[in-house]
A = this chain, B = another copy of it.
């Protein structure tokens, strides 16, 4: 039932090549025949088969996006920004979720490449040399957001380490004597790419070293919520929890409250990311604002530069900002 250029050619009593010229605004065609072709194309309800076009052009005008899970506010905002910028540039998105499964991620990337996406935007759970080599072996370029892979894989992010340092400085300036870094992803450091969290941890250590803060505790396990109340009670020092992600901070506040502990009265809490859930939170939360929309837009631009064969930045760092809040 599909109307093809062949049909148009037959109806107009003309060749397929000419139909192509008319339909795609190419030069060297008589205005009258062009008008005729366009008219009959419209009348016949012609629609181009983009699949066939892609096969011959070697470009699909679509980008593959692989992220952890879109229910996560951070990724939802990121993907939205990516989609809008891609659409603006005429590209469509193939979005797929790796659900924190390294093998699934590799499989999904392979499938996207087999579908001939022109480029990939990843927030990878994989890491290391093998993954780097895998990405390098692909016919389509990749850009990575947040989770660094290797110097030769284009990266877009913020200086997580510096941000963590600034965050600790804010906490210290509020008179806290003890800061506990809460970072559940550390439990999966061996299997997963948690570059950004590792950077935050490094920043935490560095900042703590600069001050005579009494402890440099780190809670890096999945049962972190069970550990917070006791950690709080074991010392009389004025304590703050610096959480490597707003979700952990929100969960922490809820848990402390369930134990009869109020924020910031009994403990300070600071998050990271500034996800938009915080907008409706009272008391407001101190956090680090990540320019997530800008990251998405920049990732698309970098990727399209590569797709179009231009030079592209291998490493772009955007500005973060420290947000004070009533939770400290």
A interface with B by C-beta (< 8 Å): 1-2, 47-52, 54-55, 60, 62, 69-71, 73, 76-77, 79-80, 83-84, 87, 92-97, 99, 110-116, 139, 250, 253-254, 257, 276-277, 280-282
B71–A83 CB distance below 8 A? no
By CB atoms of chain B within 10 A, which of A77, A115, A281 has the most? A115
**Given A55-B55, A60-B51, CB of A94 within 8 Å of CB of B93:** yes
What residues of B have a CB within 8 angstroms of the CB of A281 in the complex?
280-281
**Min distance, Cβ A113 to any Cβ of chain B, angstroms:** 7
- Expressed in whole angstroms, the Cα–Cα distance for A92 and B93 within the complex equals 11
Q: A50-B116, A97-B80 are in contact. Are A92 and B71 (CB under 8 A)?
A: no
B79 touches A113 (CB 8 A): no
- The residue in A51, A71, A282 that gathers the most chain B C-beta atoms within 10 A of its C-beta is A51
A-B contact pairs, 19 of them (CB 8 A): A1-B139, A47-B110, A47-B113, A49-B114, A50-B111, A50-B114, A51-B54, A51-B60, A55-B55, A62-B115, A70-B76, A71-B77, A71-B276, A76-B76, A83-B95, A87-B96, A92-B94, A250-B280, A280-B281
Residues of B within 8 A of A94 (CB): 62, 92-94
Complex: chain B residue closest to A84, CB-CB: B97
**Docked-complex contact A52 and B50, CB < 8 angstroms:** no
Q: A1-B139, A96-B93, A254-B280 are in contact. Are A116 and B51 (CB under 8 A)?
A: yes
Tell whether, in the assembled complex, residue A95 and residue B95 are in contact, meaning their CB atoms are under 8 Å apart.
yes
A83 to B96, CA, bound (A): 7
**A51–B55 contact, CB under 8 A?**
yes
- Minimum CB–CB distance from A138 to chain B (whole Å) comes to 10
- Complex Cα distance A262/B254, Å? 21
Q: How many angstroms from the CA of A2 to the CA of B290 in the assembled complex?
A: 40
> Nearest B residue to A111 by beta-carbon distance?
B92
**For the complex, what is the distance from the CA of A92 to the CA of B277, rounded to whole Å?**
29
Distance between Cα atoms of A281 and B257 in the complex (Å): 12
For the complex, give the distance between the alpha carbons of A124 and B210 in Å.
Answer: 55
Shortest distance from the beta carbon of A228 to any chain B beta carbon, whole Å: 16
Residues of chain B with a CB closer than 8 A to A73's CB: 76
The interface centre, meaning the residue of A2, A62, A80, A257 with most chain B CB atoms within 10 A of its CB, is A80
A277 contacts across to B, CB distance below 8 A: 277, 280
Are A51 and B115 in touch, CB under 8 angstroms?
Answer: yes
CA distance A254 to B284 in the complex (A): 12
